[in-house]
Amino acid sequence: MSWSREEALTDPAIREPLIFLSEFRFSLRDIPGEITIRLYRPIHSAEIVVRRSHDITVSGVNAPPGTTADDEGHEGEVLHAAVDQFLSIYNAARAKGLKPDASWLRPNPHFSWGFLLFPGQISRASLAQADTTPLATWLTNRQQ
């Protein structure tokens, strides 16, 4: 029997299976650090799910809400809405005369860097400092 990807993940023990669609990386002007946005599609849905490496918050800035995707099944629409959430706060802060600062970006503790890490390509020390997810811990211990 030949199994499809969707059929392979139908067991009741499996929860929220996702297919990775794409990843985008960018920085905001004058703020050091890279922001990563990943797009996933739940196996049994056409809607796209967004995972962001960071959130942006600026004290004293109440930006208008960012745009929402008109079509939550279209990658371009969903990506635009995710990026616009960063830009609306960033631009509102700049309009108030604030200077961009690294503290505006807050790491998302639920964002997983795990699958981007490959044993032997980075040092144990940098891995331990970069991430505390279970996969990072496992890889660190495995390299020792």
Average pLDDT over residues 75-81: 92
pTM flag (> 0.75): no
Q: What are phi and psi of 83, to 5 degrees?
A: -70, -40
Q: What pLDDT score was predicted for residue 117?
A: 43
Which of residues 48 and 139 earns the better pLDDT score?
48
Q: What pLDDT score was predicted for residue 137?
A: 52
* Ranges 33-47, 82-96, 130-144: which has the least confidence: 130-144
Q: What pLDDT score was predicted for residue 91?
A: 94
Average pLDDT over residues 6-25: 89
pLDDT band at 94 (very low <50, low <70, confident <90, very high): very high
Per-residue pLDDT tens for 41-54? 998 888 999 999 99
DSSP secondary structure of the chain: -PPPHHHHT-STT--S-EEEEEEEEE--TT--S-EEEEEEEETT-S--EEEESEEE--TT--PPPPP--SSTT-HHHHHHHHHHHHHHHHHHHHHTTPPP-GGGEEE-TT---GGG--TTSS-HHHHHHH--SHHHHHHHHHH-
Q: What pLDDT score was predicted for residue 7?
A: 82
Which of residues 64 and 15 earns the better pLDDT score?
15
**142 token code pair:** 């495995």
Per-residue pLDDT tens for 104-136? 999 998 887 654 444 444 444 444 444 444 545
Q: What pLDDT score was predicted for residue 97?
A: 95
